[in-house]
Amino acid sequence: MSNPMKVVIIGGVAAGPKVAAKVVRLMPDAEVTILEKGSFLSYAGCGLPYYVSGVVKEQKELMCTPVGMVRDAVFFQKVKNIRVMGQTEATKVDPAGKRVQVRGRGDSTESWLDYDKLVLATGGVPVVPPLPNVKLDNIFTLHGVHDAEGIKTVLSQDKARDVVIVGGGLIGLEATEALVEKGCRVTIVEMLPQILGMLDWEIAKLVEQHVESHGVKVLTGTKVESFEGSGRVERVVTDQGKLSADMVILAIGVRPNVKLAQNAGLEIGTTGAIKVDQHMRTSDPDIYAAGDCVECVDLLTAKPCYVPLGSTANKQGRVAANNICGGSDTFPGVLGSTVCKVFDYCVARTGLSEITADKMGYEVVTAMAPAPDKAHFMPAAKPLLLKLVVDKKSRRLLGAQATGPGTGDKRIDVAAMAITAGMTVDQLANADLCYAPPYAPAMDNIITAANVARNKLDGYMVGVSSMEVHRMLADQEDFVFLDVRGPAEYEEVRLPGSTWIPLGALRGRLDELPKDKEIIAFCKISLRGYEAALILRAAGFETVRVMDGGIAMWPFEKESRL
């Protein structure tokens, strides 16, 4: 009788426990050990902002199974037959000897643990910039339960009236909502020209405006230089001036934790993360890696990328476990599919952004499609702002982005599947998606967006971005900016420099428009703008374009009349 396989897993948050549980299911006699240097096992790190805000009431809820069992060391031993060595750090990997050196917290001695298969699930570490006084009290990251507890303690003592969040990415935006819910005055400082760098500018700007509508100050193109304070932080020094701060959250991002892998001589990829094959094997065939410490492959570009997400970590963990147990499972790569909640806005994206696709040499066509997320006559219908990125040559969908209070996640999920399958917008436009008024319009938002893209590809519609129109207005170019909305809409809000002729009156007022000038038509969502363009072209107007997305996706100032 052969000896049971010894599987050692370094890391006990997301990928590690997934590997362990699956290995034991497939190979019940395996000796599986998880090494975790921290105090908390298998917790939902993405839920930390909601624990800070109070939406998640108790810490243990982040570590429970769906039926309420806490995933602690006793749970793993009794239910899963997995040995957990908590507060135990792996200090060295010896691939030749197939062993791991470990040291318990507070222990001065080290011991060795043998393995047949090793899994590195060492995760990522938060980026902490080497700035003066960055170690002052009340400067936190939001990467683990200890961070969340520290932030909650400061909040409970009512000592964080002014909070500065350094970084306008996903973590920063999710932390923002949590802190505003607690009554804090929040300022986001982002070094780049926009927040949420994985989005195209106009979509990110719409999110920024929404964040500011909740009283948050957003400073883009602003660099933090240092921190000031006596014992605890009191001010954040930027290249634009100083900001008062009772607390600072560093939300700059994470980098892969690869120290053990490097010291063991394993290959590190171009992104700085551990290089693995599709089976999640490292350069050592007996060592696997999964989660935030590993490098992924972009499904569209086939290039290495680093996209640390809990969803990816769990999928990779399952693949690694299947292969450890003799299978031949593969993890093909990612599209960077991401969703987050920003107050009452859903913010989601997948695939390539317009700017990335353009840099890669694609001839890009975009479609902007703002519309209600359900049948417009349903009381629960909410606006959803959707953008598609399409390759003009092949007509394939390359990327999608969504924001607004409407349901965006399912549209982006559909887009992710369409991109994975290599679908064209023609195929997507005829996808057999569910319809019932409480759930979707008869022509779902993503189908409408696909049809907008088809109209552009086939020459029925010539679009122009809001950014280009804004530039043309600023440069005082000679064109007609034609608003075809109804009277009530026009009285409520209008765009600067526009000429107003309601769509219903357009055919009778064509003589008011010059045929020797370009006309750019728009309405609330540019559906009527498109209809106006068709009327104008039929009447002999040769240079007519439609502003993509209309007023709903205009990311600049408007003139309010009420």
Q: What gap in Å lies between CA 130 and CA 135, rounded to an integer?
A: 10
Exposure of 359 by Cβ count < 10 A (0-12 exposed, 13-18 middle, 19+ buried)? exposed
Residue type at 267 in one-letter notation: E
Q: Which residues pair with 350 in a beta bridge?
A: 400
Residue 365 gets the label, from left (phi > 0), alpha (psi -120 to 50) or beta, of beta
Residue positions annotated with a catalytic role: 46
By the 8 A CB rule, do 356 and 200 touch?
Answer: no
Exposure of 118 by Cβ count < 10 A (0-12 exposed, 13-18 middle, 19+ buried)? buried
**How does DSSP assign 194-255, residue by residue?**
SSSTTS-HHHHHHHHHHHHTTT-EEE-S--EEEEE-SSB--EEEETTEEEE-SEEEE-S-EE
By the 8 A CB rule, do 316 and 11 touch?
Answer: no
Q: Tell me if residue 393 falls in helix, strand or coil.
A: coil
> In the structure encoding, which two tokens stand for residue 505, read together?
């009156």
User: Which residue is associated with the tokens 């920063």?
Assistant: 172
Q: How far apart are the first and last CA of the chain?
A: 84
Q: What H or E segment, with its residue span, contains residue 262?
A: helix 259-263
Which residues neighbour 250 within 8 Å (Cβ) at sequence distance 6 or greater? 126, 127, 128, 129, 134, 139, 140, 141, 166, 167
Q: What gap in Å lies between CA 547 and CA 81, rounded to an integer?
A: 61
Q: Which residues pair with 351 in a beta bridge?
A: 399
> In the structure encoding, which two tokens stand for residue 78, read together?
């009794």
Closest to 486 in 3D by CA, of 470, 506, 469, 513:
506
DSSP assignment letter at 266: -
Residue 315 gets the label, from left (phi > 0), alpha (psi -120 to 50) or beta, of alpha
Closest to 35 in 3D by CA, of 122, 109, 107, 126:
122
> In the structure encoding, which two tokens stand for residue 41, read together?
């096992």
Tell me how far the alpha carbon of residue 273 is from its chain's centroid.
Answer: 19
